[in-house]
Amino acid sequence: MRLSITFCSLLAVVAAAHVHAQQRYPERPIRLIVPQAPGSSSDTLARVVATELSRQLGQQIIVDNRPGGALMIGMELVARSAPDGYTIGYAPIGALAISPHLVRKVPFDVVKDFQPVGQTANGNMLLAASPASPFRNVREVIEYAKQNPGRLSNASSGNGTPGHVGLELFKVMTGTQIVHVPYKGGAAAIGDLATGQVQLMLEGMNSITPHAKSGRVRALAVSSARRSDALPEVPTMAEAGVTGYEATTWNGIVGPAGMPRPIVVRLNAELNKALATPLMKERFGAMGAEPAIVTPEQFGQLIRTEYAKWGDVVRRSGAKID
C-alpha cells in the first residue's frame, strides 16, 4: 500500500513538473532545422520567420541548415528529435509532398512522424533563363528544345524540390527533353544560371526575384494561375503558351510527433501573430510570397492533400532522382 501511494505521488510530481515546464516554454533557444542550404527559397523565408519569432518568444530561434538527401536528411532529424518543442523544422512542399514519392526508402512517415504547427507562406515559382542564352520568352525555349532535344539544361535547388518536379511537368506538357542538373541549394544554382553554366531554372520567387529584378537572370514566366505582384510584367506560364500549367508552393513549420498540445498551440499562435504584421506581409510580398495564417489542423490537411496531388504529378511526369 505504501509503495503504491509513493509511486502515485511520484507520478503526480512528474506530471506537475511536466505541465509547469510547458507553461514556461520556451526557456532556452529553439533550433529550426531547414532541409536546404543557405540562400534557398525555404531558407530565405525561414530566416525572416525566425527573426520575428525570436523577438516575440524572447528566445533565439537558431536556423540550422541540413541540406541533402532530397530534403530527407533535415526532415529525418526533425522526426527523430525529442518532442519537447526545442527542435522544429521548416518544411517546404518538396520535403513533405514531393521527395517522399521520389526517394526509394523514405526515413519517416509524412503523416505519422510529424506534428504540424502552422503554415507560413504560399508562393509561386519563376521560370528564368540565363542572360547568356538567347531566350526572351517561353515559346523560344520550347521551339529550341524541340529542335535540339537534350541540348538544354535546367538547374534546380535540389532533387525533390518544386522546381525539379515543376520543370518535369513543363517538359511533359510541352513535349521537350531538357537535362535536369540538381544543386545543393538555390544560391549555387542561381549563380550558375547567371553565368550560363545552365540555361534554365524554375525556382521559388522569394529567392530568385531579386536576381530577376537586377537583370542577373532573365524572367520568362511565373508558375501560378495569375501574375505575381512582385513581377507584374512577367506573364503566367499559361499566358506564355503552356495552357493549363500551374504549380504553386508552400512552406510551414512542423515538429516531431508527440509534441505537447500546449506547446503546439503556443507556437501556432505566435507564428500567426507574426505573419499578420504589416512588416511581414511587406517582406513576404517583396519575395513573391503571401503569409498563410492557419491552424495546425488546417496545415495537416494541406500536407495530406498536397502529398496525394504531387504523388500523381511525379507518376505522370516520370520524374526521378538524378
Q: Spell out the per-residue pLDDT of the chain, length 322, in tens.
A: 666 666 555 555 444 444 545 578 999 999 999 998 888 778 988 999 999 999 999 999 999 999 988 889 999 999 999 999 999 999 999 899 999 999 889 999 999 999 999 999 998 899 999 999 999 999 999 999 999 999 999 999 888 788 999 999 899 999 999 999 999 888 899 999 999 999 999 998 878 999 999 999 999 999 999 999 889 999 999 999 999 999 989 999 999 999 999 999 999 999 999 999 998 988 888 777 889 999 999 999 999 999 998 898 888 777 877 5
Q: What is the pLDDT of residues 185-218, one digit of tens each?
A: 888 999 999 999 999 999 988 789 999 999 999 9
Q: What is the pLDDT of residues 236-286, one digit of tens each?
A: 999 999 999 999 899 999 999 999 999 999 999 999 999 999 989 888 887
Structural domains of the chain, ranges and CATH numbers in brackets: 29-122+248-317 (3.40.190.150), 125-222 (3.40.190.10)
Distances (CA, A) of 289 to 147, 153, 231, 250: 35, 27, 12, 9
